[in-house]
């Protein structure tokens, strides 16, 4: 009898446990709140505005009867274009989300109208924005932040997919915090004609993981002297920046690095850039495209193009300072200029700290220039400790390709007319037209007569598996020198016809 009662009690306990678990599941199930009102009003009018939707999501209730109740990580489903003309608090157009939230734009837009100083969202902990165009936001006074989305919580996570930021005048994202990690994941994001006065268009004030894929940044400007016109990455801490398959063009900065400025002293930071184009970018200081400095930073660039970068001072394309360990492979540096300084393409300085190592293989430098005539392609200050290698690179277009102090640097099998880049072996047979030869970036093709074809050596750095276009290396008896692998395409079929014989004139 006792056994029977114990068994019944156990089954009853299990039953109520299942009911409790089901109840919990229902209570935290995410809701979809449909926005069908293109204004930011709060009113009982049978239409749900985005302001009302976020309030319901925050409260997990039907605070506003025109919208569905929130519950868990809610999706704000936007079905109309929205114009915002009312400030919620502290320069923000919308209430601050108090829990994770998804803005599903469905290819609609959010636009600021009629208010001078207005940003979009403040203090999201975890926000995902999809298929949305955001434009016209402006905050030029009364604050020290920079970004229409201010992500200041310690572990803020931002995910952007198919999002456009157009004509915003106080930056786009500001995450200026001193603790925590958080992450940014951006895919198919467009930055067009935005500007900032206090930092980059996107500003991370503490190291975090940032993954950027298929970003298009065009015509943006930063009047701040802070490093990084598009992305400012400063402070301390450890993180990884991944940039791939992206385009940075016609951006400018008053500071260093029109596309990216990294300045971290404390922690370990890695910057990986792959299959990305930097084109016609301008810096009023150093680093036309990139400015990378710190005491423990790794910079890795593969299969990318630096075209037409201009720095008023040093490093027409890239400016590197202090202990930065650099690896550049399969990349093309074309027509970059350091107007008054050194290093038309790349400048490496020590800044008083130990200079990091520099490994460069199978890159093509063409028609770069330095106003000081010191290192049209490369200028390098004394290397205090680390051993560096330059192998199988083409330095072409000037008589002063490399300059500076090359202590502890070995130059192996490079083609150059400048003895500072190693034994003189002038490269010939390069097509000077930068065009689409396949792959993610434009390249300078090798001609069949080039002495770069089939003359690469394995060296220390070895032959990459592919070239800048993704073409398999080697295509002949040896890997080609430079970023382009020449492929000899022999005709597969030859046919002759006796139906036509040209008459001799």
pLDDT tens profile 394-403: 998 666 899 9
In the three-class reduction of DSSP (H, G, I as helix; E, B as strand; rest coil), residue 130 is classed as strand
Residue 412: C-alpha distances to residues 125, 157, 387, 456 (Å): 51, 45, 13, 10
Query: What kind and span of H or E run contains 4?
Result: helix 2-27
Q: Hey, which of 41-45, 119-123, 272-276 has the most confident mean pLDDT?
A: 272-276
- Specify the residue for token string 């490079």: 414
Least confident of 16-30, 45-59, 384-398: 16-30
Rounded to the nearest integer, the mean pLDDT of the chain is 87
Task: Give per-residue pLDDT as tens, 103-115.
Answer: 999 999 999 998 8
Nearest CA to 211 out of 231, 230, 185, 229 is that of 185
More confident: 149 or 319: 319
For residue 446, what are its two tokens?
A: 């090798």
More confident: 327 or 148: 327
- Residue 496, pLDDT above cutoff 80: no
- In the chain, the percentage of residues whose pLDDT exceeds 70 is 86
**Non-local CB neighbours of 387 within 8 Å, separated by 6+ positions:** 357, 408, 409, 410
From the CB of residue 64, how many other CB atoms can be counted at a distance below 10 Å?
Answer: 21
Spatial distance between the Cα atoms of 315 and 243, rounded to a whole number of angstroms: 20
- Residue 12, pLDDT above cutoff 50: no
- Residue 358, pLDDT above cutoff 60: yes
Q: Are 233 and 267 in contact (CB under 8 A)?
A: no
Spatial distance between the Cα atoms of 246 and 316, rounded to a whole number of angstroms: 20
Q: So what's the pLDDT on residue 22? A: 43
Length of the chain, in residues: 505
DSSP-assigned letter for residue 156: -
DSSP-assigned letter for residue 236: S
Q: What are phi and psi of 19, to 5 degrees?
A: -60, -40
Spatial distance between the Cα atoms of 462 and 469, rounded to a whole number of angstroms: 18
Tell me if the pTM is above 0.95. Answer: no
Mean pLDDT across 225-251: 91
Q: Give me the sign of the Cα torsion angle 339, 341, 346, 352.
A: negative
Q: Are 51 and 40 in contact (CB under 8 A)?
A: yes
What confidence category does residue 27 fall into, taking pLDDT thresholds of 50, 70 and 90?
A: very low
Q: Hey, which of 1-5, 230-234, 418-422 has the most confident mean pLDDT?
A: 230-234
- Residue 3, pLDDT above cutoff 70: no
For residue 377, what are its two tokens?
A: 């392609």
From the CB of residue 462, how many other CB atoms can be counted at a distance below 10 Å?
Answer: 15
Mean pLDDT across 30-37: 96
Residue 27, Cβ density class (10 Å: 0-12 exposed, 13-18 middle, ≥19 buried)? exposed
| CA max distance for the chain | 120
In the three-class reduction of DSSP (H, G, I as helix; E, B as strand; rest coil), residue 327 is classed as strand
Q: Are 414 and 391 in contact (CB under 8 A)?
A: yes
Q: Are 174 and 147 in contact (CB under 8 A)?
A: yes
For residue 285, what are its two tokens?
A: 């200081």
- Residue 178, pLDDT above cutoff 60: no
Residue 455 gets the label, from left (phi > 0), alpha (psi -120 to 50) or beta, of alpha
- Residue 441, pLDDT above cutoff 90: yes
Kindly provide the residue ranges of all beta strands, DSSP E only, lying in 369-455, ordered along the sequence: 369-370, 378-380, 388-391, 394-396, 402-404, 409-412
Mean pLDDT across 89-99: 87
Spatial distance between the Cα atoms of 59 and 395, rounded to a whole number of angstroms: 63
Query: What kind and span of H or E run contains 55?
Result: helix 50-59
Q: Are 305 and 280 in contact (CB under 8 A)?
A: no
Q: So what's the pLDDT on residue 295? A: 86
């Amino acid at each position: 009898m006792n056994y029977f009662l114990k068994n019944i009690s156990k089954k009853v306990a299990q039953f109520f446990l299942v009911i409790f678990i089901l109840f919990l599941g229902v209570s935290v199930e995410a809701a979809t709140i449909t926005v069908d009102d293109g204004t930011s009003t709060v009113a009982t009018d049978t239409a749900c505005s985005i302001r009302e939707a976020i309030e319901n999501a925050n409260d997990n209730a039907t605070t506003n009867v025109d919208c569905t109740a929130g519950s868990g990580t809610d999706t704000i489903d936007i079905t109309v274009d929205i114009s915002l003309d009312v400030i919620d608090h502290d320069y923000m157009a919308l209430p601050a989300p108090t829990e994770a939230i998804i803005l599903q734009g469905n290819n609609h837009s959010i636009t600021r109208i009629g208010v001078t100083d207005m940003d979009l969202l403040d203090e999201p902990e975890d926000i995902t924005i999809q298929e949305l165009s955001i434009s016209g936001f402006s905050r030029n006074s009364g604050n020290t932040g920079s970004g229409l989305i201010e992500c200041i919580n310690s572990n803020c996570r931002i995910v952007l997919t198919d999002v456009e930021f157009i004509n915003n005048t106080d930056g786009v994202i500001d995450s200026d915090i001193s603790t925590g990690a958080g992450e940014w994941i951006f895919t198919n994001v467009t930055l067009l004609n935005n500007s900032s006065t206090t930092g980059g268009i996107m500003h991370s004030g503490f190291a975090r993981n940032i993954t950027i894929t298929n970003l298009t940044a065009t015509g943006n400007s930063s009047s701040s002297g802070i490093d990084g016109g598009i992305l400012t990455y400063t402070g301390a801490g450890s993180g990884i920046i991944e940039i791939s398959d992206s385009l940075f063009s016609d951006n400018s900065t008053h500071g260093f690095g029109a596309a990216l400025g990294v300045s971290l002293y404390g922690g370990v930071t890695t910057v990986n850039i792959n299959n990305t184009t930097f084109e016609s970018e301008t810096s009023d200081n150093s680093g036309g495209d990139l400015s990378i400095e710190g005491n423990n930073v790794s910079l890795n660039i593969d299969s990318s193009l630096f075209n037409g970068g201009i720095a008023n001072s040093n490093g027409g394309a890239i400016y590197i300072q202090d202990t930065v360990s650099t690896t550049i492979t399969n990349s093309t540096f074309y027509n970059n200029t350091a107007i008054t300084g050194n290093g038309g393409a790349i400048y490496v300085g020590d800044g008083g700290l130990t200079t990091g190592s520099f490994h460069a293989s199978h890159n093509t430098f063409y028609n770069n220039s330095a106003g000081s005539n010191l290192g049209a392609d490369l200028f390098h200050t004394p290397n205090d400790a680390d051993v560096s290698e330059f192998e199988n690179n083409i330095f072409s277009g000037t008589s002063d390709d490399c300059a500076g102090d090359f202590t502890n640097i070995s130059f192996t099998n490079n083609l150059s007319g400048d003895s500072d880049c190693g034994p003189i072996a002038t490269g010939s047979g390069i097509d000077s037209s930068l065009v689409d030869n396949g792959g993610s970036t434009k390249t300078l093709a090798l001609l069949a007569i080039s002495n770069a074809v089939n003359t690469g050596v394995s060296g220390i750095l070895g032959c990459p598996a592919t070239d800048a276009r993704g073409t398999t290396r080697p295509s002949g008896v040896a890997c080609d020198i430079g970023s382009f692998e020449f492929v000899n395409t022999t005709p597969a079929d030859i046919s002759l016809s006796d139906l036509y014989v040209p008459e001799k004139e």
